[in-house]
A and B are shown apart, each in its own frame.
Chain A
Amino acid sequence: MIRIKCPYCGERDHSEFTYGSDASIKYPALDAPESEWTQAIFFRENIRGMQKETWHHTNGCRLWLEVERSTITHEIKSVKACHPQIEKITKSKL
């Protein structure tokens, strides 16, 4: 069981969350060319090691979180809200 420290709810089982994707993906502008979108949507660095990724606290506060986690050991280094303003608020609460 991976335990994720949700900045809003506290430490919870990962089964409360839904894995999103690689957080380093930069989605292009809506009117960006097809080739940029193709890279963003279909191609992955697929890091073997520490990666930044998104998780959705689906059965909790519904925040999308940026989690720094090892894809080899599942060890988590850091967790923060993806949205910068929410991150500020949750951080000041801690």
Chain B
Amino acid sequence: MTSVRKDNYGKINRDKAVSFTWDNKEYSGYEGDSLASALLANDIKIVGRSFKYHRPRGVMSSGVEESGALVTIGSGSKRDPNVRATTQELYEGLDAKGQNAFPSVNFDFGGINNYLGRFFAAGFYYKTFMGLPPFEWGKGTGIWMVFEKIIRKAAGMGKASREPDPDSYEHSNDFCDVLVVGSGPAGVAAAKETANQNLNVILIEQDSLLGGNNLADRKFDPSLLQKQLESYGVRVMSRTTAFGVYDNTVVGALERVTDHISNPNTSLPRQRFRTIRAKHIILASGALERHIAFNNNDIPGVMTANAARHYLNRYGVLTGKNIVITTNNDSVYQTAIELHEAGSKVTILDSRKDISMDLPKEIELHLETLPFSINGSKKIQSLDVCKAKDKTNKYTIICDQVLVSGGWSPIVNLVSHRGIEPVWNEENLCFVPGDIKENITVVGSARGIWNNDDCVESGIVGANEAMNTLGIDRKEISFPSVGGWSNSIDALYEVKSNKFPSKSFIDFQHDVTAEDVRLAHREGFVSVEHLKRYTTLGMANDQGKMGNIIGLSLMAEQLDKTIPEVGTTVFRPPYTPVPIGALTGRNVDKHFRPLRVTPMHQWNIDHGAKMIDVGLYQRPWYYPENNETLSDSYIREATIVRKTVGICDVTSLGKIAIQGPDATELVNRIYTNPFAKLPIGKARYGIMLRDDGIVMDDGTSWRLGENEYFMTTSTAAAAKVMSWLEELLQTRWTDLKVNVTSVSEQWAGAAIAGPKSRDVLNECVFDPNEITNENLPFMGVLQTKLKDGTPCRVVRISFSGELAYEMYIESDYAHGMMDILWENAQKYDGCLYGLEALGALRVEKGHVTAAELDGRVTIDDAGLGKMASTKKSYIGSAMRKRGVLSADDREMLVGFFPINEKETFNAGTIVCEKNQIEGQGVGRITSVTHSPELGHWIGIGFVKGGLEKWKDITLVGADPVRDKQMEIKVVSPHMIDPEGKRMYA
């Protein structure tokens, strides 16, 4: 046993033992442990395997920067791969396993890769696997894809569940004056100072406990801090990570609500994604300790020095018996003393000379001494050390742990992607945040301030800066200066050895070595972004928190430049990985998008409707009787409409009320056909074009009064047309006195179509003789009331080509309207019909919909050129005939019949000449149906040159993706009652 639990140390709850499993074996820890501290307390050294070489990995830190102890937690649908053991709180029954290893992290066959490391240098895969080895013979991608299969299996880290994530997540929206990120000394000071001024302050802390690096202090009590902050009025959010700063000081944050609880209350979400809109952000995000690259610096037992202090004072775990601390700065000395006091033998290697530190005499201090190479493979046996000036002067120290401190890097990640260039501080060898123009202030060690007192002061100064921007007059801003060590840090990033392959690791998860950086340089990948992409340095789960600076320093050395000259890559959000489930929140499965239903939705379902999604709406598709198929049902429905009468819900059409003295002018400008002289009480079918002269939408507008119109649009374009009218009126035609209001939700509509529709209507309205051909001629509008007195609007309009009407009623009365219509339709052997029958009826008439109007079709192409006025100007009139839009050989709307009447065809079929079944063909079929009236399948679509050109010529419908090909002929799109006698009847 080398790492052990110590009595009288730590902030864990010794009264509450917690049992957990690691690789299927049961262990015990305490409440307050992290998984990593519990594993260490049980002296479990190997907890992971690296990505490429499958080298054993132990716990290397105590926080979010961990790139060794990545484990899988849970099983089945709750399996979580790649969890950092260092930040996972222990709970009763926690089930953790090693990953990226077979059969286990202790003994992993993948470890063979370690011996092939000499071949697996950075980017080696770009140089091979293309063809047959060894000379890459062959063509195409076949051989690569065989290799790829093997590579994919070997790559990846943990294994993810394929089952739906069963947990729930939540979104939350927060607002505050000041958001403080981090609860270390600087953050706490800033929060208190701003809250004292009655500002609305939120403090967020990623850890479960407050205190930041104070948690590594033996005497520090985090529970007092929470109470204290709350007494100031600060809203404290722990277990919450600010993962990204976005525009206008909006912060994305992730709260882990139940990840630390063994059997959480099922009403709680697993996690909560918070969008926090702050007026000012104070970043007190701290700093991370760096490693030093030297041979075998990844053997389990290597850890950052500060992590060991955390494990001792926060978790009561002494991580080694015989500890060597290797450093280039002052920060390790307190740790050394405490580890010594806790009972370990401690040796310090300091690369510097002439430093003065008070140390107990039992602690050996080797000045100007560097770590050279660790001996051991699964655990540390000893450390070879050498002298800074003479690397050949080597000796060996027996030890079971090596703690490393290569300096500290302020956490500037959150502002990095905001275009704020970090500035290199030569004295402290770290990047500090550059000039920030937004309302963001960085305080504490995040700005490179090391001492506790200075951090507190910087927090207060930061608070002042925040209050200045919030308009509260405060004092001058003067931050304590960067740094604070009594002896200056030494520029030590790597201790070179001449061994090959190099085992001096920079990125512990991705196995990027110092030699890889030099190879990248040799091959010309000298820009930091190229370095990153070529070697994958900084692309692992820690996103370069651990290794970036070392990588930069090595590249700087190769280029004979300074680190700031080499530059740094941009840290992108999220700061720590965020589950996709949390970002999604409640909008899963059926809640992915809102469901829009018409006011008679339930009525339709109660009357047997099968529904279909149309945009966000669900509409009746067909009304099967006696288990009819879709096809039987729609054919029956369409037949009945043509024979007697049918009722159909058309509520999803867009409806817009247009009111004002210039209402007529507006509709006249947006439709292609003339509206200026439309009489009151009449409706007109109209086409709208886009600015570029292509058809945008069609619909009807009814003139209800001198200054009032009721416009309908297609279902799909309802929102678009509404915004379009608003845009025109508010930005282009601001002189027009007219107002538009969406009334889509206010009116329910039903079509009543068929020869008996008038009879049915008369049975429904108050005055049974009201609706006659004279009273309500084709395109006439009537505002009347139902039998029970409910006001309604009736328009005589036809999509089916039959005598037909649409009735609109206030939405709340929709069921009543459907009841009375249906009751009376049944008297005439009528039916309810859905979208499929509606489609069949309109295809027979050659009426176009979105299937035809695909955004490339002109009004002439659609055969509606007559509706384009030449006497007035309207939106699109200037552009609709530009260039080839008025060419003769354009694709024009036509109808299609199969030559063999038994043949069927599909929309999406390409129309070709018989001897040229290839390329774009000469046209396409856009809508098809079985025509009950004609007794065979029919279609509409487009052919180049239109009906004239192809009349009586047999063409071929090619539908290779559905293995269909058939002979077809081109006919007029108006296949039934072309003169329109029925609808005028």
Chain A residues in the interface with B (C-beta under 8 A): 1-3, 13, 18, 20, 23, 27-34, 36-38, 40-42, 54, 56, 58, 62-64, 73-74, 81-86
A37–B691 contact, CB under 8 A? Answer: yes
Residue of B nearest to A32 (CB): B878
Residue of A nearest to B252 (CB): A1
- Cβ of B877 within 8 Å of any chain A Cβ, yes or no, is yes
A63–B730 contact, CB under 8 A? Answer: yes
A34–B731 contact, CB under 8 A? Answer: no
B730–A74 contact, CB under 8 A? Answer: no
Cβ of B199: which chain A residues have Cβ within 8 Å of it?
none
Mark interface residues in B712-731 (1 if CB within 8 Å of A CB, else 0).
Answer: 00000000000100110111
Residue of A nearest to B880 (CB): A34
CA distance A47 to B878 in the complex (A): 27
CA distance A73 to B247 in the complex (A): 8
Among B248, B691, B730, which residue has the most Cβ atoms of chain A within 10 A? B730
Chain B residues in the interface with A (C-beta under 8 A): 246-248, 250, 275, 277, 419, 437, 669, 691-692, 723, 726-727, 729-732, 734, 873-875, 877-879, 882
**Among the listed B692, B731, B875, B878, which residue makes an inter-chain contact with A54, where contact means beta carbons less than 8 Å apart?**
B731
Cβ of B669: which chain A residues have Cβ within 8 Å of it?
30
Cβ of B275: which chain A residues have Cβ within 8 Å of it?
1
A3–B731 contact, CB under 8 A? Answer: no
A81–B730 contact, CB under 8 A? Answer: yes
Given contacts A41-B692, A56-B727, contact A73 B277 (CB under 8 A): no
**Among the listed A13, A23, A27, A31, which residue makes an inter-chain contact with B873, where contact means beta carbons less than 8 Å apart?**
A31
CA distance A12 to B105 in the complex (A): 51
Residue of A nearest to B692 (CB): A41
A58–B723 contact, CB under 8 A? Answer: yes
Residue of A nearest to B175 (CB): A11
- CB of B489, distance to nearest CB on chain A (Å): 35
**Among the listed A13, A30, A73, A82, which residue makes an inter-chain contact with B731, where contact means beta carbons less than 8 Å apart?**
A82
Report, nearest first, the 8 A-B pairs whose CB atoms are least far apart: A30-B873, A1-B250, A64-B730, A31-B873, A3-B248, A83-B730, A37-B878, A82-B731
A82–B730 contact, CB under 8 A? Answer: yes
**Among the listed B437, B726, B877, which residue makes an inter-chain contact with A62, where contact means beta carbons less than 8 Å apart?**
B726
A84–B734 contact, CB under 8 A? Answer: yes
Given contacts A64-B731, A74-B247, A83-B734, contact A30 B723 (CB under 8 A): no
**Among the listed A3, A41, A74, A85, which residue makes an inter-chain contact with B277, where contact means beta carbons less than 8 Å apart?**
A3
Residue of A nearest to B250 (CB): A1
CA distance A18 to B724 in the complex (A): 12
Residue of A nearest to B734 (CB): A83
- CB of B887, distance to nearest CB on chain A (Å): 15
B277–A33 contact, CB under 8 A? Answer: no
CA distance A58 to B726 in the complex (A): 10
CA distance A55 to B726 in the complex (A): 12
Could you write out 8 A-B pairs with CB less than 8 Å apart?
A: A3-B250, A13-B250, A20-B727, A31-B878, A34-B882, A41-B691, A42-B692, A83-B734
CA distance A30 to B728 in the complex (A): 12
- CB of B197, distance to nearest CB on chain A (Å): 22
B882–A1 contact, CB under 8 A? Answer: no
B878–A56 contact, CB under 8 A? Answer: no
**Among the listed B247, B732, B874, B877, which residue makes an inter-chain contact with A27, where contact means beta carbons less than 8 Å apart?**
B732
A1–B723 contact, CB under 8 A? Answer: no
| Other A-B pairs, 7, CB within 8 Å; known A3-B248, A33-B878, A41-B691 | A1-B277, A3-B250, A27-B732, A38-B879, A56-B723, A56-B727, A64-B727
**Among the listed B250, B723, B732, which residue makes an inter-chain contact with A18, where contact means beta carbons less than 8 Å apart?**
B723
Cβ of B730: which chain A residues have Cβ within 8 Å of it?
63-64, 81-83, 86
- CB of B455, distance to nearest CB on chain A (Å): 30
B692–A1 contact, CB under 8 A? Answer: no
CA distance A81 to B723 in the complex (A): 15
**Among the listed A28, A30, A42, A58, which residue makes an inter-chain contact with B874, where contact means beta carbons less than 8 Å apart?**
A30
B723–A38 contact, CB under 8 A? Answer: no
CA distance A28 to B275 in the complex (A): 43
Cβ of B732: which chain A residues have Cβ within 8 Å of it?
27
- CB of A39, distance to nearest CB on chain B (Å): 12
Cβ of B248: which chain A residues have Cβ within 8 Å of it?
1-3, 74
A37–B727 contact, CB under 8 A? Answer: no
- CB of B123, distance to nearest CB on chain A (Å): 34
CA distance A73 to B437 in the complex (A): 10
CA distance A33 to B250 in the complex (A): 46
**Among the listed B437, B726, B873, which residue makes an inter-chain contact with A56, where contact means beta carbons less than 8 Å apart?**
B726
Cβ of A33: which chain B residues have Cβ within 8 Å of it?
878
A83–B731 contact, CB under 8 A? Answer: yes
B875–A37 contact, CB under 8 A? Answer: no
Residue of A nearest to B690 (CB): A41
Cβ of A42: which chain B residues have Cβ within 8 Å of it?
692
Residue of A nearest to B727 (CB): A64
A64–B873 contact, CB under 8 A? Answer: no
B726–A64 contact, CB under 8 A? Answer: yes
CA distance A62 to B275 in the complex (A): 24
- CB of B646, distance to nearest CB on chain A (Å): 36
Cβ of A73: which chain B residues have Cβ within 8 Å of it?
419, 437
- CB of A21, distance to nearest CB on chain B (Å): 9
- CB of A52, distance to nearest CB on chain B (Å): 12
Cβ of A38: which chain B residues have Cβ within 8 Å of it?
879, 882
Cβ of A29: which chain B residues have Cβ within 8 Å of it?
873
CA distance A85 to B731 in the complex (A): 11
CA distance A82 to B419 in the complex (A): 32
B873–A1 contact, CB under 8 A? Answer: no
Cβ of B877: which chain A residues have Cβ within 8 Å of it?
30-31
CA distance A23 to B36 in the complex (A): 57
- CB of A34, distance to nearest CB on chain B (Å): 5
CA distance A86 to B737 in the complex (A): 12
Cβ of B727: which chain A residues have Cβ within 8 Å of it?
20, 54, 56, 64
- CB of B175, distance to nearest CB on chain A (Å): 10
- CB of B247, distance to nearest CB on chain A (Å): 5
CA distance A4 to B417 in the complex (A): 22
- CB of A13, distance to nearest CB on chain B (Å): 8
Among A13, A37, A56, which residue has the most Cβ atoms of chain B within 10 A? A37
CA distance A23 to B734 in the complex (A): 14
CA distance A32 to B691 in the complex (A): 12
**Among the listed B246, B419, B726, which residue makes an inter-chain contact with A1, where contact means beta carbons less than 8 Å apart?**
B246
CA distance A27 to B726 in the complex (A): 16
Cβ of A31: which chain B residues have Cβ within 8 Å of it?
873, 877-878
B878–A30 contact, CB under 8 A? Answer: yes
Residue of B nearest to A56 (CB): B723
- CB of B795, distance to nearest CB on chain A (Å): 27
- CB of A68, distance to nearest CB on chain B (Å): 15
- CB of B488, distance to nearest CB on chain A (Å): 37
- CB of B761, distance to nearest CB on chain A (Å): 36
CA distance A53 to B246 in the complex (A): 21
Residue of B nearest to A37 (CB): B878
**Among the listed A37, A64, A83, which residue makes an inter-chain contact with B879, where contact means beta carbons less than 8 Å apart?**
A37
CA distance A86 to B878 in the complex (A): 30
CA distance A26 to B480 in the complex (A): 54
- CB of B248, distance to nearest CB on chain A (Å): 4
